[in-house]
Amino acid sequence: MVPPEVTVLDRGRVMADRSFVVDGTSVATASNREPDHEYEEYVVWNLLIETPERTILWDTGSHPEAGEGYWPAPLYEAFAHVDAADHTLEGDLAAAGYALDYIDAVVMSHLHLDHAGGLVNFAGTDVPIYVHREELPYAYYSARTTEGSIAYLASDFDHDLNWEIVHGDSYHLAEGVELLHLPGHTPGLMGALIERAGDPLLVVGDEAYVEANYAGQSMATSLLWSNAAWRESLARCRDIERETGAEILLGHDLSVFESVV
């Protein structure tokens, strides 16, 4: 087997209160009714996965006009992608030596607005867009009704796209690339186990925004579709890490991202 090669793309920075990311961070108590808030920097990233079969893009990042009114104001107030305008998908691919037409397939870990904002680049093409069976209907349900999650924008994914639906708990995408269904953050969240040469990479993604989540502290309720499913998925990731010795890539933890890069 020729092992996959992985290139990590830095797609910019999001600023947010840590209490969104780690539940209970800034909880008032009887003795401390005005706790300090930690306003922190988080990373947005994509992957390029080169296999003998094809070049795969993992996620597409935020829309470059996120801070110019494309994202609804309440969402941008909570999670400000402060440099989205400097991180177009085409520009960040070019910086890594790639072009849009090099991409043979796209995997969407999920369809939240900081992951699906670049899908428009593949509208009207035959590039397959892999998404889990549980994610796509929930995204439309959320974006087109007042129920579900507010983190989906129909304008991100309601295009003429060549959807490829992933079913089940795991899916063999290419040689050395296994997609993993990790529901919890969303119903159709996917991670991956990538068998790099001598150094497997476990893409945990938004199953754990930061290391504290991976250690067992959940995200705020607003970021979880199901806490019970999240805990089951977390246990699965930890089991895979123990079995494979894989390096971990978390959803938005800047220090973990910098160690993988």
C-alpha 53, offset from chain centre: 23
Residue 192 pLDDT greater than 80, yes or no: yes
What is the rounded distance in angstroms from the CA atom of residue 232 to the CA atom of residue 15? 28
What is the rounded distance in angstroms from the CA atom of residue 248 to the CA atom of residue 257? 9
Assign 1 a pLDDT band (cuts: 50, 70, 90).
Answer: confident
63 and 121 Cβ atoms separated by less than 8 Å: no
What average pLDDT score do residues 230-248 get? 98
Assign 254 a pLDDT band (cuts: 50, 70, 90).
Answer: very high
pLDDT digits (tens, 9 = 90+) for 70-101: 999 999 999 999 999 999 999 999 999 999 99
Assign 33 a pLDDT band (cuts: 50, 70, 90).
Answer: confident
The phi, psi pair for 171, rounded to 5°, reads -150, 125
3-state secondary structure at position 134: coil
Tell me, what's the pLDDT at 26? 81
Residue 163 pLDDT greater than 90, yes or no: yes
Tell me, what's the pLDDT at 113? 98
Cβ atoms within 10 Å of 259's Cβ, excluding its own: 11
Describe the strand order of the beta sheet including 201-205 as a list of residue ranges.
170-174, 177-181, 190-194, 201-205, 247-250
Residue 28 pLDDT greater than 90, yes or no: no
Residues listed for the chain: 261
Beta strands in the chain (DSSP E): 5-17, 39-50, 55-58, 80-81, 105-107, 128-132, 162-166, 170-174, 177-181, 190-194, 201-205, 247-250
What is the rounded distance in angstroms from the CA atom of residue 195 to the CA atom of residue 167? 21
Closest by Cα among 243, 148, 153 to 186:
148
Tell me, what's the pLDDT at 196? 96
Assign 35 a pLDDT band (cuts: 50, 70, 90).
Answer: confident
Quickly list H helices, the chain: 18-21, 73-78, 89-95, 136-144, 154-157, 211-214, 227-244, 254-260
Give me the chain's average pLDDT, please: 96
